[in-house]
Amino acid sequence: MSATVESVIVAIDGPAGTGKSSTSKAVAAALGLSYLDTGAQYRAITWWMITNGVDVADPSAIATAADKPAIVSGTDPADPTITVDGVDASGPIRTPEVSAKVSAVSAVPEVRTAITDLQRTIAASAVMGIVVEGRDIGTTVLPDADLKIFLTASPEARAARRSGELKGADLAATKEALIKRDAADSSRKTSPLAKADDAIEVDTTELTLQQVIDRVIALVETKRAAR
Ligand code: DC
């Protein structure tokens, strides 16, 4: 009888610019798993708030609207998609305006409850397993994940990667915006950016993307072999 590969849930958390998305997508693709970018979901709800005239400086206005947008994530790592009320949001969620406002929106408990419910439903329906990337996946969303990784990197390395992605954005301004967002994400009351006690920390500062991918794949294989 041939051995069946058991489903595996991998949580990858860490601040912006540590290579979370590139690593998570590549690991999921290599292992035949689904992939979920939870930051894209928080960006999508932020974009919806902005385009629907909700004052993102008013937590109670955000809370009241939190369950209104219908956010749908496609979980194929080769083509991750995101729609809001049926509209493709993949472009608009990456604007500097959304990046600047997403921390305030994602700090509102009603937003976190709505998005966390969505994330758990998606993870539970991934037959072969899933790689879920974010800030609170190992601590809050999927505390029973089979493997938890926490990616870190120096602020300089993170800013350099992010400004490269944004094609020539000013390095100092990118670093400042990134540090500000991390501080807000780490200090909020509800499920802040944090390393779970049982997460494995990988400092990516001196590693190439391929080295990070290989390390995470090896950790998944080790977990599977130990079962
Ligand atoms: O991964 P990203 O930079 O696209 O995430 C955008 C923001 O979403 C991030 O600044 C904080 C929020 N976020 C969160 O609060 N919890 C998550 N699990 C993922 C993202």
pLDDT in tens, 104-146: 999 999 999 999 999 999 999 999 999 999 999 999 999 999 9
Distance separating alpha carbons of residues 81 and 134, to the nearest angstrom: 16
Assess if residue 1 is contained within a domain: no
| Domain interval for residue 90 | 8-221
3 C-alpha to ligand 1 centroid (Å): 37
State pLDDT tens for residues 5-64.
Answer: 679 999 999 999 999 999 999 999 999 999 999 999 999 999 999 999 999 999 999 999
84 C-alpha to ligand 1 centroid (Å): 17
> Of 174, 185, 189, 193, which is best to mutate to test ligand 1, by the most ligand atoms within 8 angstroms of its C-beta?
185
How many domains does the structure of the chain reveal? 1
The reported pLDDT for the residue numbered 89 is 98
4 C-alpha to ligand 1 centroid (Å): 34
The reported pLDDT for the residue numbered 4 is 60
Distance separating alpha carbons of residues 128 and 111, to the nearest angstrom: 28
**Residue 80 CB–ligand 1 contact under 6 Å:** no
144 C-alpha to ligand 1 centroid (Å): 20
Average pLDDT of the segment spanning 177-197: 93
Q: With pLDDT > 90 as the criterion, what percentage of the chain qualifies?
A: 85
Q: Is a pLDDT exceeding 80 seen at residue 166?
A: no
Assess if residue 26 is contained within a domain: yes
Average pLDDT over the chain, rounded to whole? Answer: 94
Describe the strand order of the beta sheet including 129-134 as a list of residue ranges: 34-37, 129-134, 8-13, 147-152, 200-203
Assess if residue 72 is contained within a domain: yes
Assess if residue 2 is contained within a domain: no
**Residue 182 CB–ligand 1 contact under 6 Å:** no
Q: What is the CATH number of the domain that holds 24?
A: 3.40.50.300
> What Å distances lie between residue 114 and 10, 63, 64, 109, 207, CA to CA?
21, 10, 12, 9, 35
Q: Is the pTM of this model over 0.85?
A: yes
Assess if residue 226 is contained within a domain: no
Average pLDDT of the segment spanning 185-202: 95
Q: How many CA atoms lie within 13 A of 59 on its CB side?
A: 9
> What Å distances lie between residue 159 and 130, 133, 202, CA to CA?
28, 19, 18
